[in-house]
Amino acid sequence: MSNDEGMTIFEKIIRREIPAEIVWEDDDVLAFRDVNPQAPVHVLIVPKRAVARLADATEADGALLGKLLLASRQVAEKLDLLKSGYRVVINSGPDAGESVPHLHLHVLGKRALAWPPG
């Protein structure tokens, strides 16, 4: 997209138009700290190719969805969450709390997380 109109905040972060504390990146995925953390560690993992939400993903997105989950493991390792544990959350749609229409995973850790989540 050549202009900023209609771009999500995540697309602007991916393009480095908005600063973010990046914790992990590869060719397809970007992970950065949430600006409104809900746990001591709260990282968002976004695909660089925009998919609006999990409900909009297709079989063609299968490899990308797998990369997102594998990236959550990479982030957890980098942030020392593997032993203590962490939660991976995907919100899809307004009732789930989706606030940005760009598929993303939340990685939360470094505190005990209640179940059910809310």
Residue 115 lies in a domain: no
Query: Rounded distance, CA 28 to CA 80, Å?
Result: 23
Strand partners, 29: 47
Catalytic residue among 42, 102, 104, 106: 104
Instruction: Provide the residue-wise pLDDT of the chain in tens; the chain has 118 residues.
Output: 445 668 999 999 999 999 999 999 999 999 999 999 999 999 999 999 999 999 999 999 999 999 999 999 999 999 999 999 999 999 999 889 899 999 999 999 999 999 887 6
Q: Which domain holds residue 33?
A: 9-109
Query: Rounded distance, CA 79 to CA 74, Å?
Result: 9
Q: What is the reported pLDDT for 118?
A: 65
Residue 4 lies in a domain: no
Residue 1 lies in a domain: no
Residue 48 belongs to a domain with what CATH number? 3.30.428.10
Residue 91 lies in a domain: yes
Q: What is the reported pLDDT for 24?
A: 97
Number of domains observed in the structure of the chain: 1
Verify whether residue 104 is a known catalytic residue. Answer: yes
pTM for the model stands at 0.91
Residue 51 lies in a domain: yes
